[in-house]
């Protein structure tokens, strides 16, 4: 297929951007894997409330929330490394106004920051609480020494940013649908598996 993207692969000698240009497969895979992980992470931590405190089910849900959360950190690190070797994004056809492109860039930076900050905060919470055991016999190394009050504060920050995440992700997904159904450009198709 002829390649024509804004930055990767380089457009061949002045050809117009191809409406079929897509993100690299690895970037697409990481994007949707992250969504699947986040859906499970949110579901586990929200649904735990239906089980009594101290019950096995509740503890298991919290523990898997933590393990999948750490997995997000690993996935985003790999994703950013892949992204570095594929800078830029395939051109959107027809091109949206520059303000929309700038807004999208800001949102993407916020989403990446969220994907890094949330697992790190969760890890700090467990370190401060001195409760570093994960499922499957895994064990996190402490990032800070035990400190209960600090752990509570970090947990509040983790929960607040977690709730802000709903809005960030919701706005991001709505923007993608707006481009697809209203502007009828290829923004979403470039990211579909």
Residue, CB closest to ligand HEM: 122
DSSP assigned state of 83: H
The Cα 39–Cα 41 span in angstroms is 6
List the structure tokens of 71: 């997995």
Is 72 a binding residue for ligand HEM by CB under 6 A? The answer is yes
34 to 45, 91, 112: CA distances (angstroms): 16, 23, 11
Let me know the angle formed at the C-alpha of 192 by 190 and 193, rounded to the nearest 5 degrees: 125
Q: Min. distance of Cβ 96 from ligand HEM in angstroms? A: 9
The Cα 56–Cα 72 span in angstroms is 24
The Cα 163–Cα 72 span in angstroms is 17
Is 70 a binding residue for ligand HEM by CB under 6 A? The answer is yes
Task: Give the three-class secondary structure for 96.
Answer: coil
Task: Give the three-class secondary structure for 51.
Answer: coil
Is 188 a binding residue for ligand HEM by CB under 6 A? The answer is yes
Is 38 a binding residue for ligand HEM by CB under 6 A? The answer is yes
- Kindly report the number of other CB atoms within 10 A of residue 126's CB atom: 22
Q: Min. distance of Cβ 186 from ligand HEM in angstroms? A: 9
Q: Of the listed pieces 6-14, 32-40, 141-149, which binds ligand HEM according to CB under 6 A?
A: 32-40
**Site for ligand HEM, residues 133 to 172, rule: CB under 6 A:** 155, 158-159, 162-163, 165, 169, 172
* Residues 106-125: x where in contact with ligand HEM by CB under 6 A, - otherwise, as a string: --x--xx-xx--xx--xx-x
Shorter beta-carbon distance to ligand HEM: residue 13 or 145? 145
Q: Which residues bind ligand HEM (CB under 6 A)?
A: 31, 34-35, 38, 41, 45, 62, 65-66, 69-70, 72, 83, 89, 104, 108, 111-112, 114-115, 118-119, 122-123, 125-126, 155, 158-159, 162-163, 165, 169, 172-173, 176, 187-188, 191
């Amino acid at each position: 297929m002829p390649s024509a993207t804004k930055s990767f692969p380089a457009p061949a000698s002045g050809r117009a951007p191809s409406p079929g240009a897509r993100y690299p497969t690895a970037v697409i895979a990481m994007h949707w894997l992250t969504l699947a992980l986040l859906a499970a992470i949110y579901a586990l931590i929200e649904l735990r409330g239906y089980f009594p405190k101290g019950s096995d089910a509740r503890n298991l849900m919290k523990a898997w929330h933590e393990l999948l959360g750490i997995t997000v950190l690993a996935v985003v690190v790999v994703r950013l490394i892949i992204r570095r070797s594929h800078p830029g994004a395939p051109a959107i056809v027809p091109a949206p106004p520059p303000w929309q492109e700038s807004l999208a860039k800001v949102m993407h930076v916020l989403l990446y920051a969220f994907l890094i900050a949330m697992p790190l905060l969760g890890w700090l919470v467990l370190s401060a609480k001195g409760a570093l055991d994960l499922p499957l016999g895994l064990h996190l190394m402490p990032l800070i020494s035990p400190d209960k009050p600090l752990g509570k504060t970090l947990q509040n920050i983790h929960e607040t940013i977690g709730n802000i995440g709903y809005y960030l992700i919701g706005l991001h997904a709505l923007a993608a649908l707006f481009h697809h159904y209203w502007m009828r450009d290829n923004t979403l198709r470039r990211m579909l598996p």
